[in-house]
Structure 1
Amino acid sequence: MISLIANETKKLTLRFSTWLYPLIILAVILALSASFRSFIPDLNNVQLMLTINSISMFLVALFSIVIASAVVSSEFSYGTIKLLLIRPYKRWQILLSKYIVVLMYAILLTIFTLIMTYIIGGILTSFASFTQDISTANPAYSESGTITNSGQTAASALGSQLGFFTIQLIFSTSIAFMVSSLLRSQALAVGIGLFLLFVNSIAGGITLMLVGQFQWFKYIFMAPLYYVSMNANGAGMDVKGLSPELAISILAVYYLIFMALAFIFFQKRDVSV
């Protein structure tokens, strides 16, 4: 199994896009940091991280989905799937190794983004402590207009954002991975993966608004996924009948179903063509 993971890691590192995506994120962080510095001169790097995380982390999710969408379907597109299956490993081991490498890439891309945001923000603005109270620079308001994050430290806010984002990242990447394992066309798999990401940004919000009127809407994965993504962006909202715990539980059920479909289908699929 270790050799399979090492082989998949090597194949991923040989792709040009694997190294291009971090460079794109780095360029975006530079542009955003410079822009915020000019508009808000007294902003420090920790406050900057909390401010631009929604954009930088969206790019992390976007590029991770592209990688996950192509990791299996590309083997069929290039005709290399037979070379994998003749090796002395079971199909589920081959698929699991690909999934592990995809998650590793997504996590490393997240860590890279956070580190670069902190360093670049510190160089362009100033380095600050994660124990600072961020309610004045990044206030969160309730429907009545009162500040809900009064006294909250930057470390607490960042930890909450990263927790919700990790759930969103794993779930979105897993959907893309499932699509990749079901389709033979790499272009189609990537297209569907990106389509699901952007559709959820629109349809997820609409579905979430309908949860208040029709409670069964909360069981459609787009509603809890959008709910989690809003919390990951630091824009948490109160939704009747839906809590973070319930949203995560619903996503966990869908996650198990999607992963089961991916492995069952890959076990049984015909690779004679």
Structure 2
Amino acid sequence: MMSLIANETKKLTLRFSTWLYPLIILAIVLALSASYKSFIPDLDNVQLMLSINSISMFLVALFSIVVASAVVSSEFSYGTIKLLLIRPYQRWQILLSKYIVVLLYAVLLTLFVLIMSYVIGGIITSFGSLSQDISAINPTYSENGDVLNASQTALHALSSQLGYFLVQLIFSSSIAFMISSLLRSQALAVGIGLFLLFVNSIAGGITLMLVEQFQWFKYIFMAPLYYISMNANGLGMDVKGLSPGLALGVLAVYYVVFMALSFIFFQKRDVSV
């Protein structure tokens, strides 16, 4: 199993895009940091991270979905799937190794961008304290307009955002991975994965409105996923019928279903190319 993971890791690291994605994100973080510095001279790097996390983390999710969408479908597109299946491993082991590498790349890309954002922001602006109260600069509100994060420290806010984002990242990447394992077309798998990401970002507010009107809609994965993404962006708020626990529970059920479909279908599918 470890040899399969090592092989998939090697294939991923040999792709030019694997190294291009973090460079693109860092260039955007650099530009945003310089822009924020010019408009808000007193801003420090911790406050900057909280302000631009929604953009940088969206890009991390975007590129992770591209990788997850292509990891299986590309084997069919390039006709290399047979070379994998003739090796002395079960199909589920081959698929699991690909999934592990996808998640490792997504998590490492997240941590890399966060660390570099902290360093770049500190160099361009100043290094702020993680214990500072950020409720004034990054408030979250209840339905009644009350501030929910009064006296919240920057460390707590960043940890909360990271935790919610990892849930969003793993779930979104898993959907893309499932599509990749079900479809043979790399272009179609990438297209559907990106479409779901943009629909969730653009039409997410509509899904929350539907949750308040129709309670059953909170069990459609788009609603809890957008609710989690709002918390990941530091925009968390009360939504009638939804809570962090319920959203995580609903997504967990969908996650199990999606992963089961991926492995069952890959085990039984015709792999002739």
After TM superposition, the score normalised by the length of structure 2 is 0.98
Aligned residues of 2:143 and 2:239 also touching (Cα < 8 A): no
Alignment match, 1:179: 179
* Counterpart check, 1:40 vs 2:40: yes
SS at match of 2:213: coil
Aligned residues of 1:130 and 1:155 also touching (Cα < 8 A): yes
Alignment match, 1:258: 258
SS at match of 1:212: helix
What is the root-mean-square deviation in Å for CA atoms of aligned residues? 0.9
Which residues of 2 match residues 105-254 of structure 1 at below 5 A? 105-254=105-254
> Cα offset for 1:271?
1.1
Aligned residues of 1:132 and 1:153 also touching (Cα < 8 A): yes
Quick one: distance in 1 between partners of 2:203 and 2:149? Answer: 28
Provide runs of 4+ in structure 1 moved above 4 Å: none
User: Paired residues, what number?
Assistant: 273
Change (3 A) 1:141 1:243: closer
> Cα offset for 1:241?
1.2
Q: Percent of pairs identical after alignment?
A: 83
Alignment match, 2:21: 21
> Cα offset for 1:143?
4.0
Per-residue deviation, residues 61-102 of structure 1 (Å, max 9, x unmatched)? 000000000000000000000000000000000000000000
Instruction: Specify the code of the residue in structure 2 equivalent to 1:46.
Output: V
* Counterpart check, 1:4 vs 2:43: no
Quick one: distance in 1 between partners of 2:245 and 2:142? Answer: 20
Aligned residues of 1:203 and 1:222 also touching (Cα < 8 A): no
Quick one: distance in 1 between partners of 2:183 and 2:162? Answer: 31
> Cα offset for 1:11?
0.1
Per-residue deviation, residues 44-66 of structure 1 (Å, max 9, x unmatched)? 00111111000000000000000
Which residues of 2 match residues 64-103 of structure 1 at below 5 A? 64-103=64-103
Aligned residues of 1:73 and 1:186 also touching (Cα < 8 A): yes
Quick one: distance in 2 between partners of 1:142 and 1:181? Answer: 40
Quick one: distance in 2 between partners of 1:234 and 1:272? Answer: 47
Further displaced range: 57-66 or 198-207: 198-207
Quick one: distance in 2 between partners of 1:55 and 1:34? Answer: 15
Quick one: distance in 1 between partners of 2:66 and 2:84? Answer: 21
Quick one: distance in 1 between partners of 2:252 and 2:154? Answer: 28
> Cα offset for 1:36?
0.4
Aligned residues of 1:225 and 1:247 also touching (Cα < 8 A): yes
Quick one: distance in 1 between partners of 2:202 and 2:53? Answer: 20
> Cα offset for 1:255?
0.2
* Counterpart check, 1:53 vs 2:53: yes
After TM superposition, the score normalised by the length of structure 1 is 0.98
Runs of at least 5 residues in structure 1 that lack an aligned partner in the other structure:
none
Runs of at least 5 residues in structure 2 that lack an aligned partner in the other structure:
none
Quick one: distance in 2 between partners of 1:149 and 1:267? Answer: 47
> Cα offset for 1:149?
1.6
Quick one: distance in 2 between partners of 1:224 and 1:136? Answer: 27
